[in-house]
Structure 1
Amino acid sequence: MEIGIIGLGAMGREIARNLGAAGHTVTAWNRSGGQVEGVHMVETPAQALQADVALTMLSDDAAIRSVLLDANLLSQVRPGLVHVVASTISVAFAEELTTSHRAAGIDYAAAPVLGRPDVAAKGELNVLAAGAPTVLEKVRPVLEIISKRIWYMGEEPPTAHAAKIACNMMITMAIEAMAEAVVLTEANGLARERFFDLILNTLFGSRSYQVYSTNIINDRYEPGFKAVLGLKDLRLAHAAAEQLGRNLPMLEAVRHQMTEAVNAGGGDRDWSVMADYTIRSVE
């Protein structure tokens, strides 16, 4: 299968590499250039859309709008292309993309992913897929290569993006919950590694707790997923709640804390640096 990829950030590089290693012909465009083994780099995003399936992995709404919509690339795709947006984008923009693809007669699916670059490298992402069943069946061979499991979110692409935003919101809530628990327990003489040994083996054993408790124990926040991107996703969650006319108090609390952590200089560190901000702000 011929596969195009637009955007080769930390996640996109690993996805492209795995697709190439699986024997597909992979063509990719990246704003900042670069090379990936087994991937043919092209000079324009339009060239990456001359494929059977194209995956967009750009960072946000603005980047996708600039690259795809403002440049009118939907009028330049290969006939029969299926376009898959794997980026984390707003629900409102996903609705706009659904409309624009329908008007252009292009099959469109959403497939945002759960997992960090190390998970992507193993081909073990969780893919949240939404779109018409016939469209998803066309792209299933591609998604199976990069995933541990494909989760069907429904026929409307915005649903998958709402689910991804909600998942990231919940991860930040878990990070903040661990940070506030450390504030209480360390002040009363319990080392954080002992406390986390307790919760990981009793109440909270999920991957998010495992990964981010390790960061908090070691007081090490090397970027896996940058805090500035985490803040972007919390803004998307806030916008989605506003669109519904709803106030989500826990969301607003973690959005405030992540904003403070980024403003304190943690924007390029892992988003679990929010825990460090919370812990240190009470010392």
Structure 2
Amino acid sequence: MNTKQINEQASSAGALSDPRQTAGSSGSKALIGVVGLGNMGSALAATLLSKGHAVVAYDRNPQRVEALRVEGAQGAARITDLSHCNIVISSLPDDAALESVMFSLPGGLVDILKPGALHISMSTVSAELSRRLEKRHTEAAQSFIAAPVLGNPDLAKTQRIFILAAGSAVDMQRARPLLEQLGQHIFELGEDPGAANVMKLACNVMTATTLQSMGEVLTLLTKAGIDPHLAFEVFTGSLFDGRVHKAYGGKIVDRRFKPAGMTAPLAVKDLRLALSEAERQAVPMPMASLVHERLVALVAAGWGDLDWSALGALAARDAGLDGAASA
């Protein structure tokens, strides 16, 4: 019997409670661990609690754990405290953080989870890492899917994020009922978990290039004497009425760069990962390269704590507009 058959057998035997059993009085809900309690991870954990799930919350920052404990979660002081969880959701900032949690010795997540447990990685990380995680989980008779999200923490709090999910058909079937409680739509991208990560990175490249272009044209129009709020109304009321144009364009014209949905350093990381994948695939991406440099410049300007829409403020500063550097 191979490890995938072991996983299927464990599922049918009830080793992992079906996430669909979340309502009623059956008492058979899965115990869900959440690893990484930044803005997005905390929002996901809060949603799970609101849906009546039992949640075990872990973060290296004990204050974040305490904040979720007050809301009803069980607090975990160390990663090994998640060993009894049926499902673990990870929401971590980068490859290094996820690798540290998964493979740290002794007691990384792969080592401490029981056979049949399901790991859902909702982090924006490299495709290579997701494929390596799937391999390690399979070797341990565990399940894995990659499920990064589109949307900010505010959207996560109201279950309006979009979820990009990939993994084996068996694992996806088990994860889908839970994911449906977290977001408004799930896009399934096949059995290769790395595909979900490449898709997420591609979406972030498109968003970043849109922010750069909006910052440039709004600066041009401002210097030409046109009210940027009027320009924004023209854009979003005509040909450029997409979610990104409306949400981030509004931040640019109103100079609302805090609190950040995506900070500039995280955006730098995502563009770097996208360009690394492009190099592996021999795909020139000159626009992505340019915007990556602009994001680095944003950090260099001392604005690393701002939302990545502050690319608009950087464009204004470079054009010599008064007050641009106060963002």
Normalising by structure 2, report the TM-score: 0.84
* AA in 2 matched with 1:14: A
Task: Provide the residue aligned with 1:282 in structure 2.
Answer: 319
How far did residue 258 of structure 1 move? 0.6
Task: Answer yes or no: is the 8 Å Cα contact 1:21–1:38 preserved in 2.
Answer: no
Partner of 2:3: none
1:70 pairs, out of 101, 104, 119, with 104
Structure 1 residues 142 and 89, CA gap change in structure 2 (3 angstroms): same
Q: CA-to-partner distance for each residue in 1:19-45, whole Å, 9 max, x for gaps?
A: 011111111111102321121111111
Partner of 2:87: 53
Q: Structure 1 stretches of 5 or more lacking a match?
A: none
CA radius of gyration, larger in: 2
Verify the 8 A CA contact 1:84 1:109 in the aligned structure 2.
yes
**Correspondence 1:84 to 2:120:** yes
Q: Matched residues in 2 for 1:236 and 1:107: separation?
A: 25
Q: Note if 1:264 corresponds to 2:293.
A: no
Give the match's secondary structure for 1:189.
coil
Structure 1 residues 135-164: Cα deviation after superposition (integer angstroms, max 9, x where no partner) = 111112211111011111111100000000
Residue 118 of structure 2 aligns with an amino acid whose one-letter code is: V
Give the counterpart of 1:16 among 36, 40, 45: 45
Deviations 1:142-196 (A, max 9, x none): 1111101111111110000000011111111110010111132222221111111
Distance in 1 of aligned mates of 2:257 and 2:166: 33
The equivalent of 2:218 in structure 1 is: 182
Q: Which residue of 1 aligns with 2:135?
A: 99
2:184 aligns with: 148
**Offset of 1:110 from its aligned partner?**
0.6
Number of residues of Structure 1 aligned to a counterpart in Structure 2: 283
Which secondary structure does the structure 2 equivalent of 1:3 belong to?
strand
Runs of 4 or more above 3 Å deviation: none
For 1:272, what is the secondary structure of its paired residue? Answer: helix
2:34 corresponds to: 5
More displaced 10-residue stretch of structure 1: 38-47 or 143-152: 38-47
Q: CA deviation at 1:49?
A: 4.2
Runs of at least 5 residues in structure 2 that lack an aligned partner in the other structure: 1-29, 321-327
- Alignment of 1:41 onto 2:75: yes
Identity %: 33
Displacement after TM superposition at 1:102 (Å): 2.4
Q: Deviations over 1:209-228 (max 9, x none)?
A: 11111111112311222111
Other-structure match for 1:171: 207
| Distance in 2 (alpha carbons) for counterparts of 1:8 and 1:89 | 16
Whichever residue aligns with residue 65 of structure 1, its letter is E
Alignment check: 8 A CA contact 1:4 1:49 kept: no
C-alpha RMSD of matched pairs (Å): 1.3
**Does the aligned pair in 2 maintain the 1:53–1:139 contact within 8 Å?**
no
Quick check: 1:252 aligned with 2:292? no
